[in-house]
Chains A and B, each alone.
Chain A
Amino acid sequence: MMDTGIATPAPAAVEIALPKPPSVARRMFGHPGLVIGLALLGLCVAMAVLAPLIAPYDPYTQNLDARLIPPVWLEKGSWAHPLGTDNLGRDYFSRTLYGARISLLIGLSVMLISGIIGTTLGLVAGYFGGRVDLVVNFIITARLAMPVVLVALAVVAMIGGSLLVVILTLGLLKWDRFAVVMRSATMQVRSLDYVAAAEAAGASRLRVLAGEILPNVFPHLIVVATVEAGSAILLEAALSFLGLGVQPPLPSWGLMIAEAKNFMFFSFWLIAIPGTALAALVLGINLVGDGLRDVFAPEGRA
């Protein structure tokens, strides 16, 4: 047996204290995309909520003497109608404000309906696996094979267009992404130890789903929800543009663009304003979704 003298180390401190990682709140405010997104989204929400207070005119009131007045920054524009008027003399600023309500309402309600359907399907498929998973997968594939726009058009053509019909139709059609993402997230979480622990402790299936799995797939859920909300808003706009969505005289931004199409050559602002509003709202929602995902799980950035 050799003696190398390496028995008791002399404790010389060579450690350095590492700085603490930034808190969640700090990460949120340090993320430029998230901040811009929240600002845009906040602006639209403010427009929608405060519309009755800020709108200078009633969005439905026509004034045939004041048709096609340009916005204030073009010549012949005036502050009386800061964003101009449309072909029926309705004030565009007021219509744009009220249009925010429709878009936000659509986004929110479709997200909720499709979210509930899709999340339930995804959770169930991911948790139970086996035959249940096969069936759900088949349903998802079948739903993906259906061209959403066409089916929505067909349904609306049948029943007649209205806000409620559009919401229900889109809600019942657009749950696929929720289902797919929730399914894979559930499968990942499911195999983790604390789920097994809960099951071993005898918790009922429902309890495990609600108590263990749902809280942990929540970040994924938020991200998909924002994407789907934005997508629903764009879909409604497209349907209304084709005349098979919300019906006039509701100030849906998509409908406003459709109505303005015939006048677009000389009055392009009639299209530009609601179009930009749509883009800004969806951009805000997407940025918020991306930002939240980055804050919760930065490794997945792309």
Chain B
Amino acid sequence: MLIYTLKRLALAILVALFVSAVAFVLLRLSGDPALAIAGEGAREADVEMIRKTYGLDRPLPIQYLDWLTTILRGDLGQSLYFRTSVWSLIVDKLPVTFLIGGLSILFALALAIPLGVLAAVFAGSWIDRAALAIAVVGQALPTFFFALVLMMLFSIQLRWLPVSGSDTWWHYVMPTIALGYYVTPPMMRLVRAGMIEVLGSDYIRTARAKGLSTTSVVFKHGLRNAVVPVVALAAVQLGYLLGGSIVIETIFALDGLGYLAYQSITHKDFPVTQAVLLLLSLLYVLLTLAADLLNAFLDPRIRVA
């Protein structure tokens, strides 16, 4: 297990480096950072001076290495737009995004697992078809549209929930639903497929032959085996959610990482954009690794080899 983990960790770091390089090149190509720093209408001489001061006239690979070493020292640079350290910005906004991402995944699991189990136990019946129909429609609905519909319904019409902001727990209800429903269908299908396969296996027949209750058979014996790949998928989906929360954060005025990235992109704030891209890809890679490890851990055949 240990060697496996180390190998995957090494791969994860390699991928993160690669992604950071791509991100770096992409952003440097977008325009002249010196110009952005200098501001509009600056004189050519000033821009030239800035270029020299920041070392922006050196070859690209050198700049990358330089940037990389700086990052590894923990210095993420200064935000051009916010005029504070990038690190402090990220630390400030990260909790909100994590919270939404985490709540959304939990919401998705809370929906996907029961629906998937029901669909599998009653496979082929109207319950199954209804669950699949919900899944199929859910995957077709644009996230931002659904968010606006929720807002219209629960904030404006019914006045149950606050419209936007992030002050109370109630503020997180709609964003969680809006973000979580989109990743529910793939997980529900995975639960369903896994349960159908598991419920047809020999050890389920043995469990029934022992006279165990249906609950015990389905959950203790069935779901316990079927849920393993789902948990792994959930970890991966979390990575996807963290990167895709930008739309939700914008609509609900949540001050998270996604919104920060949006602002930095529209204001050409390279240090922030780079840092956020790097952070998100690192997170994704780590979450994928966690998913693999979870998979291995939850299956006794791998854990107790």
Contact = CB atoms under 8 A, between A and B. Distances in A.
B277 A151 contact: yes
A82 B59 CA distance: 60
A112 to B, nearest CB: 21
A286 interface: yes
A196 interface: no
Given A142-B19, A142-B22, A147 B141 contact: no
Nearest to B139: A286
Interface stretch (B77-85, B144-152, B172-180): B144-152
Contact of A286 (B26, B29, B140): B140
A50 interface: no
Contact of A278 (B16, B145, B148): B145
B26 A154 contact: yes
B285 A145 contact: yes
Contacts of A278: 142, 145
B250 interface: yes
B15 interface: yes
B192 A302 contact: yes
A188 interface: no
Interface string A142-161: 10111111110111011100
A147 B244 contact: yes
Contact of B15 (A142, A237, A261, A286): A142
Interface string A1-31: 0000000000000000000000000000000
Interface SS of chain B: helix
Interface in A249-270: 254, 257, 261, 264-265, 268
B184 interface: no
Contacts of B144: 237-238, 241, 254, 257
A24 to B, nearest CB: 22
A185 interface: no
A271 B276 contact: no
Given A142-B19, A238-B144, A283 B30 contact: no
21 contacts: A33-B136, A138-B15, A141-B11, A141-B288, A145-B285, A145-B288, A147-B240, A147-B244, A148-B244, A149-B244, A150-B261, A150-B280, A153-B246, A153-B261, A155-B26, A238-B247, A257-B145, A271-B145, A271-B152, A302-B192, A302-B196
Interface of B: 11, 14-16, 18-19, 22-23, 26-27, 29-31, 136-137, 139-145, 148-149, 152, 156, 189-190, 192-193, 196, 240, 242-244, 246-247, 250, 261-262, 265-266, 268, 273, 276-277, 280-282, 284-285, 288
Given A150-B243, A150-B277, 6 more contacts: A145-B281, A154-B27, A159-B30, A272-B149, A278-B145, A282-B140
